[in-house]
Chains A and B, each alone.
Chain A
Amino acid sequence: MTAPSTVLQLDHITRHRAGRAAVANLSLTLDSGQVLGLLGVNGAGKSTTLAMIAGALTPDSGAIKLNGKDFLEHPELAQRGIGWLPERAPLWPELTVLEHLDAHGRLRGLGGAALAKARQRIVERLELGSLSRRLAGVLSQGQRQRLGLACALLHEPSLLVLDEPANALDPVQVAALRAVIREQAAAGTAVILSTHLLAEVTAACDRVAILHEGQLRYDGPITDDDHKMLEQTFFDIALRGGDGNDKARAA
């Protein structure tokens, strides 16, 4: 097994929205094979952070490094290095599932035999075969999410960014999603997922970062047994604006 390397490095990134700091002075790193859960109440700055990491939004200040290279100076790094599933999987309703995969593959620099192979692999893995000719506009919410995930994974990125991926999924679909996340992590992909569900973090992540009012209040490892500690820390931060690291240490 190869030693984990730093895939993502956020260095004091700040982003203002509607006159206030949606994300303020945020720094963190993420190693290959690590699954980081970004936790926070609605409006904490999770989606803004993930959009910046995915390259869809530019920070006002700070630096983002992907595999050691400045991502803001070289936005093309996002092409092959990052897979992103936004909160509501954005799809073109008039295109079929296969057409989506082809389009995403080409935009990410795949073509010819490599694209066909990647498409076949992802269709089999996410069981999209029966939906392949169906238009995205008629897919159910769960199927849309699965297609969005397929598009994010198609080009085998080194960093997978998932924004509330379990939203609107049934328990079976959630279990399948967790299995995919674990598989990706085992293959060395760094995964960052945002959620406001504590159970999602303890089940799928090996590290948690809690954002509150755009600031990082807690960052530490987590195991299946840490649910109680995480719950205390989260509520202390969300309701009382406490220092999560103090609370966690006490717990």
Chain B
Amino acid sequence: MRVLAVTRLELRRLIVRPLAWVLAALTLAQLAWRFTLLLGGFLAGQIKLAALPGGPGYTDLVGVPMLSSILTGGILPFGVVELALVIVPLLTMSSLAGERSNGTLPLWFAAGLPASRIVLGKYLALMLWLVLWLALALAMPLSLSHGVTLDWGKLAAASLGALLTLAALAAIGVASSAYASHASIAATIALTVGLVLAGMNIAVQKAGATSGVFNWLALSGHLEDMLRGLVSLSDVAWFLLVIVVALALATQRLAAEKERG
């Protein structure tokens, strides 16, 4: 129950701060721009595509690219995943580092809350915000679902991939916030870790090295299959592993802080 008390408080703090609203407004406006461009491209090529048996449809050309540009290339304007690499660190940076600079962190300890519940409560609040944000982004392609043929399975798999990416980035952000003394440092650490995870396999490939391990470590390697509509247990496990490790590190850091004072 008290995890929910932490979640409720964190969500309230998120809602009353302008940062979350500004980020939501800017990113949704940018996603709307991406949606109109993707839709324009789809409509322009519709006749040509209709002639191709098994050719790409609305889901491949609008629905999935709204979530990420990994498969389609052409990064700008950003998809949900590319935007998340930037906005999740900004959202998570204050979760624990802000409490520390505010002097409110000891209050959580004094309420008899174990570090794990503090971390989990805060993480759940951030996830609620991110799920709502993802739902609003998905509402754009889904708004035309009555007039087009949607591949629901592929879109669901891609959405799951995007959700797991958001969850992993949020966990990394919370862990960074637990270790950093200031929110800005937490944001920088989370942004760097996110970018390295997202692009390490590409960087290694470009350097001409074999990238087996890096492919496994890289976020994009696991997201790509889901964007193609393929959900494998190993990919889901990779995301869950990142989430669990990041939250465990945050918990351990917080518990050590109570010990150390």
Interface residues of A (CB under 8 A from B): 15, 17, 48, 51, 54-58, 75-79, 82, 84, 86, 88, 90-95, 99, 103-104, 106-109
Contact = CB atoms under 8 A, between A and B. Distances in A.
B117 to A, nearest CB: 10
Interface in B60-119: 102-104, 106-114
B254 to A, nearest CB: 12
Interface in B143-176: none
B106 A79 contact: no
- By Cβ-Cβ distance, the 3 closest A-B pairs, closest first, are A56-B106, A106-B5, A79-B112
B113 A94 contact: no
Given A56-B258, A94-B16, A76 B106 contact: no
Interface in B1-45: 1-2, 5-6, 8-9, 12-13, 16-17
Contacts of B259: 58
Contacts of A15: 261
A188 B107 CA distance: 24
Nearest to A87: B103
Contacts of A104: 111
Contact of B102 (A48, A78, A90, A106): A90
A78 B261 contact: no
A1 B258 CA distance: 39
A109 B258 CA distance: 21
B54 to A, nearest CB: 53
A58 B9 contact: no
A57 B113 CA distance: 12
Contact of A55 (B2, B12, B104, B112): B112
Contact of A51 (B2, B5, B106): B106
Given A51-B261, A54-B110, A94-B16, 4 more contacts: A55-B112, A56-B106, A75-B112, A78-B111
A230 to B, nearest CB: 30
A99 B110 contact: no
Contacts of B16: 94-95
Interface of B: 1-2, 5-6, 8-9, 12-13, 16-17, 102-104, 106-114, 258-259, 261
Contact of B111 (A51, A57, A91, A108): A108
B13 A77 contact: no
A16 to B, nearest CB: 9
Given A91-B104, A92-B13, A17 B261 contact: yes
Contacts of A91: 102, 104
30 contacts: A15-B261, A48-B261, A51-B261, A54-B110, A55-B111, A56-B106, A56-B107, A56-B109, A56-B110, A56-B258, A75-B112, A86-B103, A86-B107, A90-B102, A90-B106, A91-B104, A92-B102, A92-B104, A93-B102, A94-B13, A94-B16, A95-B12, A95-B16, A103-B12, A106-B9, A107-B9, A107-B107, A107-B111, A108-B111, A109-B1
B256 to A, nearest CB: 10
B13 A95 contact: yes
Nearest to A148: B107
A249 to B, nearest CB: 36
A103 B111 CA distance: 11
B5 A77 contact: no
Contacts of B261: 15, 17, 48, 51, 57-58
Nearest to A91: B104
A106 B9 CA distance: 9
Contacts of B107: 56, 84, 86, 90, 107
Nearest to B114: A75
Contacts of B17: 94
Contacts of A78: 110-112
